[in-house]
Amino acid sequence: MLRTPSGGAGHGTAPAGGPLVSIGAVLSHLREEFPEVTISKIRFLEAEGLVEPCRTPSGYRKFSPGDVERLAQVLRMQRDHYLPLKVIREQFEALGRGEGPPPPGAQRERADGTWDTGSEVPTAARVGREELLAAAEVGESRLDEWESYGLIVPLPDGGYDAESVTVAKLVADLGKFGLEPRHLRIMKAAAEREAGLVEQVVAPLRRHRNPQTRAHAEATTKELAALSVRLHAALVRTALGVRQH
């Protein structure tokens, strides 16, 4: 039995007070933090059981504030923690049973970029092939093609690291605009050149005998990588004449 806006019995994400809103209003709210989100994505998350909005007698979706926050949590967990939907669903189910810490997407980010979880929350360091396919929402043949172009590289044991999940999702999104893997080789080549430049800077630190210096090398690598990504994005926007709002 469907939960209705009038508060009738049924299933769905528990309301958290406030008015019920349409999927269009949810999209507008989420795009403030997640510019790439689409109505299709929201419907996909609903189909995967991550959120269950109520329905009007006419069949229109109506989302409570709790539904909207749940969607935001799911999107944060995908973006910031690279978690597949299966893992996210399991974490929410465990939380509903009173087990385990709150999902990381429900926490606030500290000023230094780390997450204030109250306890250590493990992230998905690696995933299997099925989980990668589910995260990217693609089939086997598409993943095989990405691997043939070197865009996705499996680990020796056949699994994939967290960055592969991110790359797969981005490649899938670019594909929706008609960009094929062969078009993306130039981006991969540019990334490898940038990585080589960073490696030149940190290589002397990594060879140092002092463990603290080697640890500093890893921190420096992450900082340079973040700066490189920001510079690359700014240069692309400048080249395209796109203003950032």
| Contact predicate 89/78, CB 8 Å | no
Q: Is the pLDDT of residue 244 over 80?
A: no
- Distance CA(242)–CA(245), nearest Å, equals 9
| Contact predicate 106/95, CB 8 Å | no
- The residues that bridge with 70 in the sheet, in sequence order, are none
Residue 14: inside a domain: no
Q: What is the pLDDT of residues 115-124, one digit of tens each?
A: 343 333 334 4
- 154-166 in b/e form (b: 16+ CB < 10 A) is eeeeeebbeebbe
At 80 the pLDDT is: 77
Q: Of 70, 73, 74, 57, which is closest to residue 10 (Cα–Cα)?
A: 57
Task: Give, as one character, the DSSP assignment of residue 2.
Answer: B
pTM (2 d.p.): 0.49
Q: What is the pLDDT of residues 152-209, one digit of tens each?
A: 999 888 889 888 888 999 999 999 999 999 999 899 898 899 989 989 988 888 888 8
Residue 51: inside a domain: yes
Q: What is the pLDDT of residues 41-53, one digit of tens each?
A: 999 999 888 999 9
Domain count, the chain: 3
At 226 the pLDDT is: 85
Confidence of residue 22 (pLDDT cuts 50, 70, 90): very high
Average pLDDT over residues 11-35: 78
- Distance CA(50)–CA(43), nearest Å, equals 10
Q: Is the pLDDT of residue 148 over 90?
A: yes
End residue of a domain, out of 62, 82, 116? 116
Three-point CA angle 229, 122, 110, nearest 5°: 55
Residue 16: inside a domain: no
- Distance CA(133)–CA(143), nearest Å, equals 7
Q: Is the pLDDT of residue 113 over 80?
A: no
Q: Are residues 152 and 215 in the same domain?
A: no
Q: What is the pLDDT of residues 24-75, one digit of tens each?
A: 999 999 999 888 889 999 999 998 889 999 999 988 999 999 999 999 999 9
Q: What is the pLDDT of residues 92-102, one digit of tens each?
A: 888 877 765 55
At 122 the pLDDT is: 37
| Contact predicate 29/13, CB 8 Å | no
Q: Are residues 33 and 105 in the same domain?
A: yes
Q: Of 122, 32, 17, 111, which is closest to residue 72 (Cα–Cα)?
A: 32
Average pLDDT over residues 109-138: 60
- Distance CA(10)–CA(55), nearest Å, equals 10
Residue 46: inside a domain: yes
| Pairing mode, strands 115-116 and 54-55 | unpaired
Amino acid identity of residue 185, one-letter, is R
Q: For 61-78, what is the HEC assignment?
A: EEECHHHHHHHHHHHHHH
Q: Are residues 100 and 30 in the same domain?
A: yes
Structural domain for 84, as ranges: 23-116
Residue 153: inside a domain: yes
Q: Is the pLDDT of residue 132 over 80?
A: yes
Residue 129: inside a domain: yes
Residue 3: inside a domain: no
**CATH classification of the domain holding 27:** 1.10.1660.10
| Distance spanning both ends of the chain, measured CA to CA | 43
Helix (H, G, I), strand (E, B) or coil at 108: strand
Three-point CA angle 74, 76, 78, nearest 5°: 70
